Chains A and B, each alone.
Chain A
Amino acid sequence: MTSPAAATADFLDQRTGLGAAVKEFARKVFPDHWSFLLGEIALYSFVTLLISGTFLTMFFVPSMTEVTYSGPWASLQGTRMSEAFASTLRLSFEVRGGLLMRQVHHWAALIFMASIITHMMRVFFTGAFRKPRELNWVVGFTLLILGLAAGFSGYSLPDDVLSGNGLRISDGVLRAVPIIGSYGSYFLFGGEFPGEALIPRLFTVHILLVPGLILALVGLHLFMVVLAKHTQYPGSGRTDRNVVGFPLFPIYVAKAGGFFFIVFGVIALMAATMQINPVWNYGPYDPSPVSAGSQPDWYMLFLDGALRLMPGGVEVVIANFTVPLNVLIPAMVVPGILFTALAAYPFIEAYATGDKREHHVLDRPRNRPFRTAFGVSLLVAFFVLVLAGSNDLIATHFHLSINDITWVLRFALFIAPAAAFMVTKRMCLALQRRDREIVLHGHEHGTIVRFESGEYIEVHQPLNEHERWIRVQHEPIRPLQVAPAEDSRGVRRKGYAADLRRARLSRLFYADRVEPVTPAELAASHSHGTHDELPPAPSGQELVAGGRRSLVADDRAPGDGH
């Protein structure tokens, strides 16, 4: 116990009992999969944002006091501008490395939001939000909203024409809110738009309030991951009662630690080579100018797209009070529906499934056709709105009429998600059927054999047990069924109507399904010689999932995924 390291460890342990924590955490097991790193991209780009952001605060002046520019950028010399804009120019052009840090910060913000979305997609499509992780899904969802707030408050800070027009749009949306809209606008701007209070206020929101909340929730998010241990993909040996992977120390210290540097490095590479948000091109904010191609950063684009698609006729006046539904619907109702559906989905699905057990083995997306199709349709709706927000650039780049694009997208917003839902669901069911086919008959071998009788058959290679397990490990989920309305004594029971509604929802989720091959089916397929004949349906199954007693499972034939 004489080495300095040992002495330090001894010092710390005597005061904190650190030894127990090290023993507990150093060998903690995490499963290995590339898709588990998506959330890490978000975490590391956030750390990158903190580092580069701290650098920027040393030079940025959050003030709307008017100054006259006299720096090196010729096109702006002698132009009057806010100190916020002037200091942005100064830190870009006169602080060595300042432009690099600014571009690192902005690219990191775009990557942060992109990785949050992809991470959420992974969690959604694999069902990682199921019990016991519903709360962590809500925490992650809140982080998404906070990320939007961080981005919006951040790119508005330089006080340039582009973001200033974005703020003006926000003001217009805020004013549209019935009863309190005008007061909301005064609340935000400290008086009339644009006022002189906004930039200092946004600065506080951007560097203290929102990052503080994000930091706290990221801590909670990770704590809950450690608490429940990480999910894992299905595979041989993996169950809901174990976690299979590599220990935190040394493997994940090296892999995850290294990945932080890779994320920061890729962002630095982008900042070195690709210009982002050149505010000197837009000029300082002034309420009169506007540039063609005025759009927000990509993660807010869906809102701008929704505003563009909405026909104007729906502004209504009731008793001389104006309700601009042409603004409220696209800017509040549509995103409200999208986000509420996203946040509430785990609870809705659990209700429809009637399942109260913990799940730690992930779903393969094909095995949950409704969920996968629903997720894809949400994404498609989001994408249609993003396209709508880019309609002027699509028009110029593809030589189309902006009016035609708008009309097509107005219809596409309704048709495309519905079509995507149906196509995705069909594809999932088809993939499941293919899984069944492969389990029952093996891989196609490519060899054709001719019998003496003249019959040709293709030789199939049977699956080994590990290959088979991947395709049969999932539980068949059947729609909940309603118990009779009257009990044995003929008394109408309470809650029958609620059960009926729940069963209807459950059918929506699980009526169309393909069930995994059972040992009996495999045995039958081997003994019959001829294929494609399924044994009769399992009849009178008791409740598969641990739902309420009043609901029993549907007994429709498996494989009947019409």
Chain B
Amino acid sequence: MSDDLELRDTADQLPDRFENPGFPPHEQRRGDVDPRANKFSERIVVALFAVSILGTIAMIAAYFAFPPGETAASMQRSNLAMGLGLAFALLGIGTGAVHWAKSLMSDHEVAEERHPLRSSDEVRAQAVEVLKEGAADSAIGRRTVLKGAVATSLALFPLTIVVPLVGNVGGDWDVASFKRTMWKKGTRLTTDPLGRPIKAADVTIGSITSVIPEGLEETAHPLDEKAKAVVVLLRLDPRDLKIQPGREDWQYDGIVAYSKICTHVGCPVALYEQQTHHLLCPCHQSTFDVADGAKVIFGPAKRALPQLPITVDTEGYLVASSDFTEPIGPSFWERLR
């Protein structure tokens, strides 16, 4: 520790910071001094590349030997055999190349100089000069009308692409259709997805049925209509059901229908706990109390699920009394306008 002794002697002239001690001594690998170890490493590299060759052969063989077939088991076999072949073909090359670099190529670190990225003052001055000359040549500074014309034309021309694009990309742009569904007075409620009409007498207490309007398949865009019109139908013990003021005739004998589309961001609210009368959205756990107007009791939704007014027709089938009286699904800016 003579270093430290010196330091102590000259404590007054000590620098503020330690000096970078420079590169540490190089440590040699076994292969650098022992030719046998070197040879051994080479053999391993060769073996790894051989693994890759075998992997490729195995993959090609599996391609012909294991068609996916008709069952999950044969598909799994085909996928596994080809995948393992591919994996070994790739891993053989990868590990072989890396081991080669690590054990057989030079491991002497070298240093390269860095230079500041910034241009020298001289170059900067020249660059500014070039720009000035160009500007002077074009006389852009003096020709203000020309400058304005160039800027305006460049700013305007993208409209030739944007206008037709925006005009067409949104379909008919009729955003008011968010507020309507295909339910109307007299539309029968049918089971989803098979489309069987439902008799009020057949709906038991504690049941939930996913419901679509009759005639859904005949519409021009069934999925678009279904995305708005799908409803859940539930029957509660009339003693449990708190009928909302003004909605006395929206239910039929404890049978109620609510929009299946969550008022949060639109997932289907389908998870029904019949003992608690809670409807949950499995996406974000908004929880609605069906016994109390499907009001929110937990989770990120704010509004109750819209209720579909229902009644029965002369044959005893459940039908809608009208469309929903408010837009279904997630909130949007002009929802109430």
**A-side interface residues toward B, CB under 8 Å?**
28-29, 32, 72, 93-94, 96-97, 99-100, 103, 132, 165, 168-169, 171-173, 175-183, 185-187, 189-197, 227-229, 235-247, 250-252, 254-255, 257-266, 268-269, 271-273, 285-294, 304, 307-315, 317, 320-324, 326-327, 330, 358, 360, 391-392, 402-403, 406, 462, 465-466, 468-469, 472-473, 475, 516-520, 522-524, 526-527, 538
A331 nearest in chain B by CB position: B265
Using A227-B117, A243-B112, A261-B90 as known contacts, say yes or no to A97 and B16 having CB atoms under 8 A apart.
no
Q: Which 4 A-B pairs give the minimum distances between C-beta atoms?
A: A272-B83, A172-B265, A191-B171, A258-B97
Residue contacts A-B, CB under 8 angstroms, 25 given: A99-B68, A168-B227, A175-B331, A178-B333, A186-B171, A193-B227, A236-B21, A237-B22, A237-B24, A241-B114, A242-B113, A262-B95, A268-B87, A288-B212, A291-B282, A292-B282, A304-B284, A307-B265, A312-B300, A327-B264, A327-B300, A406-B299, A462-B4, A519-B14, A523-B14
Q: Which residues of chain B come closer than 8 Å to A182, judged between CB atoms? A: 175, 178, 332-334
Q: Which of A186, A235, A263 has the most CB of B within 10 A?
A: A186
Question: Within the complex, which residue of A251, A323, A468 is in contact with B105, where a contact is CB–CB below 8 Å?
Answer: A251
Q: Which residues of chain B come closer than 8 Å to A189, judged between CB atoms? A: 171
Contact count band on B: 35 or more
Question: Within the complex, which residue of B96, B227, B296 is in contact with A287, where a contact is CB–CB below 8 Å?
Answer: B227
B286 nearest in chain A by CB position: A312
Contact A271–B83 (Cβ < 8 Å): yes
B337 within 8 Å of A (CB atoms): yes
**Contact pattern, B 282-303, Cβ under 8 Å of A = 1, otherwise 0:** 1111100000000010111111
B127 within 8 Å of A (CB atoms): no
Give complex CA distance A473, B10 in Å: 21
Q: Which residues of chain B come closer than 8 Å to A181, judged between CB atoms? A: 332-333
Q: Which residues of chain A come closer than 8 Å to B90, judged between CB atoms? A: 261-262, 264-265, 268
B248 within 8 Å of A (CB atoms): no
A191 nearest in chain B by CB position: B171
**B-side interface residues toward A, CB under 8 Å?**
1, 3-4, 7-8, 11, 14-18, 20-24, 63, 67-70, 75, 78-80, 82-84, 86-91, 93-98, 100-102, 105-107, 109-114, 116-117, 166, 169-173, 175, 177-178, 192-193, 210, 212, 221, 223-224, 226-228, 230, 260-262, 264-268, 270-271, 282-286, 296, 298-303, 329-337
Contact A192–B227 (Cβ < 8 Å): yes
Shortest Cβ distance from A320 into chain B, in angstroms? 5
Question: Within the complex, which residue of B175, B265, B283, B302 is in contact with A186, where a contact is CB–CB below 8 Å?
Answer: B175
Contact A308–B285 (Cβ < 8 Å): yes
Q: Which residues of chain B come closer than 8 Å to A93, judged between CB atoms? A: 68, 75
Contact A287–B268 (Cβ < 8 Å): yes
Q: Which residues of chain A come closer than 8 Å to B94, judged between CB atoms? A: 258-265
Shortest Cβ distance from B238 into chain A, in angstroms? 27
A48 nearest in chain B by CB position: B90
Contact B300–A322 (Cβ < 8 Å): no
Contact A165–B16 (Cβ < 8 Å): no
Q: A252-B101, A269-B83, A308-B300 are in contact. List 15 more A-B contacts (CB 8 A).
A: A72-B70, A103-B83, A168-B266, A182-B175, A182-B178, A185-B175, A192-B221, A244-B110, A258-B96, A264-B90, A287-B230, A294-B283, A307-B264, A308-B299, A310-B300
Contact A195–B224 (Cβ < 8 Å): yes
Give complex CA distance A326, B300 in Å: 6
B168 nearest in chain A by CB position: A190
Contact A242–B82 (Cβ < 8 Å): no
Question: Within the complex, which residue of B1, B4, B230, B330 is in contact with A327, where a contact is CB–CB below 8 Å?
Answer: B330
Q: Which residues of chain B come closer than 8 Å to A322, judged between CB atoms? A: 331-336
Contact B82–A100 (Cβ < 8 Å): yes
Q: Which residues of chain B come closer than 8 Å to A406, judged between CB atoms? A: 285, 298-299
Give complex CA distance A255, B107 in Å: 12
Contact A392–B300 (Cβ < 8 Å): no
Contact A272–B20 (Cβ < 8 Å): no
Give complex CA distance A237, B108 in Å: 14
Shortest Cβ distance from A263 into chain B, in angstroms? 8
A329 nearest in chain B by CB position: B300
Question: Within the complex, which residue of B106, B224, B300 is in contact with A311, where a contact is CB–CB below 8 Å?
Answer: B300
Contact B114–A240 (Cβ < 8 Å): yes
Q: Which residues of chain B come closer than 8 Å to A250, judged between CB atoms? A: 101, 105
Q: Which residues of chain A come closer than 8 Å to B170, judged between CB atoms? A: 183, 186-187, 190-191
Q: Which residues of chain A come closer than 8 Å to B166, judged between CB atoms? A: 187
Contact A518–B14 (Cβ < 8 Å): yes
Give complex CA distance A259, B91 in Å: 9
Contact A526–B4 (Cβ < 8 Å): yes
Give complex CA distance A286, B14 in Å: 78
Contact A245–B109 (Cβ < 8 Å): yes
Give complex CA distance A238, B331 in Å: 59
Using A187-B170, A520-B11 as known contacts, say yes or no to A465 and B230 having CB atoms under 8 A apart.
no
Contact B264–A172 (Cβ < 8 Å): yes
Contact A194–B227 (Cβ < 8 Å): yes
Q: Which residues of chain B come closer than 8 Å to A468, judged between CB atoms? A: 18
Give complex CA distance A183, B82 in Å: 47
Question: Within the complex, which residue of A103, A237, A527 is in contact with B8, where a contact is CB–CB below 8 Å?
Answer: A527
Using A262-B94, A326-B300, A520-B14 as known contacts, say yes or no to A239 and B20 having CB atoms under 8 A apart.
yes
Using A322-B336, A520-B14 as known contacts, say yes or no to A28 and B260 having CB atoms under 8 A apart.
no
Give complex CA distance A28, B101 in Å: 16
Using A172-B264, A327-B330 as known contacts, say yes or no to A192 and B224 having CB atoms under 8 A apart.
yes
B97 nearest in chain A by CB position: A258
Contact B334–A321 (Cβ < 8 Å): yes
Shortest Cβ distance from B335 into chain A, in angstroms? 5
Give complex CA distance A192, B219 in Å: 14
Give complex CA distance A320, B334 in Å: 8
Using A258-B93, A286-B223 as known contacts, say yes or no to A96 and B68 having CB atoms under 8 A apart.
yes
Q: Which residues of chain A come closer than 8 Å to B266, judged between CB atoms? A: 168-169, 171-172, 193
Contact B98–A259 (Cβ < 8 Å): yes
Give complex CA distance A236, B69 in Å: 62
Give complex CA distance A384, B84 in Å: 36
Using A169-B267, A262-B94, A321-B337 as known contacts, say yes or no to A358 and B260 having CB atoms under 8 A apart.
no
Give complex CA distance A327, B69 in Å: 46
Shortest Cβ distance from A432 into chain B, in angstroms? 16
Shortest Cβ distance from B159 into chain A, in angstroms? 17
